[in-house]
Amino acid sequence: MPRHLATITLIGQDKAGVIARITQLLFQLGANIEAMEEQVTRRQFSMTLQASWTHGHFDCATIIRGVNAAARDLAMDVKIHFAPVGPQRLAILVTKEPHVLEGLLAKSPASLGTRPVVVISNRPTLGPLARQKKLPFHYVPFNDRAQAEQQVLQLLDKYEADFIVLARFMKILSPNFVWRWKNKIINIHPSLLPAFPGANAYRQAYERGVKVVGVTAHFVTPNLDEGPIITQEVLKLRSNETLASIVKRGQTLETRCVLRAVRAYVTKRLDVHWGRVYS
């Protein structure tokens, strides 16, 4: 039977009764709760809940009113994301390296399985590339991270994005941002995680003399480069290969790995349990 799916994210000061209030409300609204995860960090509460409705029990306006009212009573921020009927809408975050963005935009929405709707960057460098593909481009300086993230969140709502790809976006997103898009932000990291997290991963691998390098597409979490792994690609190094050659070949892998991860995300329902991705 066809179902209507929604992800509800609730964030605010930790207090008693939040989970009971929301789950009871969803029961009254005819929902089936399929997954729920909550955590408390420094008295900051966050909960991500997946719910579904059969066609006969689904009333979008009533659900939104009820959940928003409960969030107001609990003094918490809420985000409700309903699964789209058509292709999912992709927001791409970039900095200055073009290769992953080029790879995403080279694919048709039909072959990629998703429709890019906006490119957002902390630098103006890649604006011409986005506009060449007739995509809106927004330059958001990250001089003040909290202010910049708020602007990005508003843009994501404006373009009704369903998920995000960090296409070599070189800024660390805060827990406040990541919690609102739990398991909906895909990042590409130039190493076989968990090896060589953080900056300059190719250089780290080169200096350690490894014989195999690779790249990892993973979901973003508040812990840097520790999110659940979606896909990985590997590359055997040549004898006496230079760092420049490793970087160039690795960038080709980055694009391939991101494309695989995006296709897996939009064609399968990827579930995350205890830090591992299942499809």
* Structure confidence by residue, pLDDT tens digits, 55-64: 888 999 999 9
Q: Is 225 a catalytic residue?
A: yes
Instruction: Give, as one character, the DSSP assignment of residue 55.
Output: G
Domain count, the chain: 2
- Rounded to whole angstroms, the Cα distance separating 105 from 103 reads 6
Residue 36's CATH number: 3.30.70.260
Q: Are residue 199 and residue 76 in the same domain, yes or no?
A: no
Q: Are 103 and 259 in contact (CB under 8 A)?
A: yes
What is the mean predicted confidence (pLDDT) over 70-76?
Answer: 95
Q: Could you give the dihedral angle defined by the CA atoms of residues 156, 171, 169 and 264, in that order, rounded to the nearest 10 degrees?
A: -70
Domain boundary among 62, 82, 102: 82
For residue range 90-145, list pLDDT tens digits in order: 999 999 999 999 999 999 988 999 999 999 999 999 999 999 999 999 999 999 99
Q: Are 136 and 119 in contact (CB under 8 A)?
A: yes
Q: Is this model's pTM higher than 0.85 or not? A: yes
Q: How many CB atoms lie within 10 A of CB 235?
A: 17
What is the mean predicted confidence (pLDDT) over 29-48?
Answer: 90
What is the mean predicted confidence (pLDDT) over 66-88?
Answer: 92
Q: Are residue 77 and residue 106 in the same domain, yes or no?
A: no
Q: Are residue 101 and residue 73 in the same domain, yes or no?
A: no
The one catalytic residue in 59, 73, 225, 271 is: 225
- DSSP bridge partners of 116: 90
For residue range 168-193, list pLDDT tens digits in order: 999 999 988 998 998 999 999 999 99
**Parent domain of 71:** 3-82
